[in-house]
């Protein structure tokens, strides 16, 4: 199993990423505002299945890669740090757009809502990078099965992401109204998340596994 430090560190990374606007958040908020919270939750079911797919692919792939390719860990570590810095810039750059400023969508049935949630997540580069470049940083082959560690960490990410997105989907309308009249809160959120992600990126880049 991963160490407590790895579990907490990956949980913080997962929380920072889920709170940074991306395709999943924008789609779920759009769907909830257009069609109601129930539609957002059905769509989230598809998103969750996409997380499971990525987790299993990454778990088996990372297991093979870390044992087969020398210096694979360092390459993934630097790629992950670079990606976190890019996310931090997206949050901090001038003119950043709120995910609650969304367009209206056509009304869809439950089956299509689920399918679109799954497709949105599978095509989401943020989640792909999370599993392929960030997750390996928290795996230590000396601590036991790489496969078990990958699944444990991936499960933490899924729980955090689904929980946060569920709360956002259920409260999308109220949050949009609140932020629409208090733009300073959006600015605070962007700077807070950008700073956290940048700090994690620097820590990841300079820390090497013992």
Q: Model confidence over 135-170: pLDDT tens digits?
A: 877 887 777 888 888 889 999 999 999 999 999 888
Q: Answer yes or no: is pLDDT of 73 > 90.
A: no
Residue 127: pLDDT band with limits 50, 70, 90: confident
Domain regions of the chain by residue span: 4-75+105-175
- Average model confidence (pLDDT) across the chain: 78
Residue 122: pLDDT band with limits 50, 70, 90: confident
Largest Cα–Cα distance of the chain, in whole Å?
54
Q: Which two tokens stand for residue 166?
A: 């569920």
Compute the chain's Rg from CA coordinates: 18
Identify the pLDDT of residue 46.
Answer: 95
For residue 145, the tally of other CB atoms under 10 A from its CB is: 14
Transcribe 96-120 into DSSP letters. PPPTTS--------HHHHHHHHHHH
Identify the pLDDT of residue 155.
Answer: 93
Give the separation between CA 4 and CA 54, rounded to whole angstroms.
23
Identify the pLDDT of residue 198.
Answer: 78
Least confident window among 7-11, 120-124, 135-139, 177-181: 177-181
**CB-CB contact of 62 with 139 (8 Å):** yes
Q: Answer yes or no: is pLDDT of 210 > 50.
A: no
């Amino acid at each position: 199993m991963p160490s407590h430090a790895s579990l907490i560190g990956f949980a913080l990374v997962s929380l920072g990423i889920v709170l940074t606007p991306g395709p999943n958040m924008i789609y779920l908020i759009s769907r909830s505002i257009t069609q109601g919270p129930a539609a957002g939750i059905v769509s989230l079911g598809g998103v969750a299945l996409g997380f499971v797919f990525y987790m299993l692919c990454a778990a088996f792939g990372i297991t093979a890669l870390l044992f087969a390719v020398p210096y694979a860990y360092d390459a993934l570590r630097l790629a992950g740090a670079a990606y976190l810095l890019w996310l931090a810039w997206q949050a901090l750059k001038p003119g950043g757009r709120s995910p609650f400023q969304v367009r209206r969508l056509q009304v869809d049935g439950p089956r299509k809502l689920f399918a679109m949630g799954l497709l949105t997540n599978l095509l989401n580069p943020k989640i792909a990078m999370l599993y392929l470049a960030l997750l390996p940083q928290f795996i230590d082959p000396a601590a036991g099965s790489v496969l078990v560690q990958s699944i444990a960490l991936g499960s933490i990410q899924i729980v955090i992401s689904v929980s946060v997105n569920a709360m956002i989907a259920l409260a999308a309308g109220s949050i949009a109204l609140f932020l629409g009249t208090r733009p300073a809160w959006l600015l605070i959120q962007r700077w807070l998340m950008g700073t956290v992600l940048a700090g994690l990126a620097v820590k990841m880049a300079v820390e090497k596994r013992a």
